[in-house]
Amino acid sequence: MAYTIFFVLHNTDELPRLLSAWHNLGIHCRSVMNSTTYDHQQPPHRIPMRFSINPTLTASEKDTLSLFAFASDLDQVKQCLEASQEILGELERDDSGYLPAWQLAYPSSKQ
């Protein structure tokens, strides 16, 4: 059964190494998107409005990258996690990233 991997990368300079390691495992990243991670210790101080003029990052925000990829089975997800930790260190650290994965009931295509 196929799995979706969602990875939020905090150290964006490591993207080429991470994608290369995943590619060597047969995991091909399908999308890379710019994203923002908020410090959960400090809520962002913004005035709620639909559109923000000149948005700037506060001390509690960090530019990150969000990656979407697909793995063929749970073993491949575990290999992806191990390869990611070899590059970034333990993912429990706040400055590395996080990797959730979930099983797909109805994959639309093969890897």
Task: Walk along the chain (111 residues) and give the pLDDT tens digit of each residue.
Answer: 799 999 999 999 999 999 999 999 999 888 999 998 876 555 555 666 666 665 555 557 788 999 999 999 999 999 999 999 999 998 887 778 889 999 988 767 654
* pLDDT value at residue 29: 83
Does the CA dihedral 60-10-28-106 come out positive or negative? negative
CB proximity list for 24: less than 8 A, separation 6 or greater = 83
Residues linked to residue 103 through DSSP beta bridges, in sequence order: 3
CB atoms within 10 A of CB 3: 19
Q: Give this prediction's pTM.
A: 0.75
DSSP-assigned letter for residue 2: -
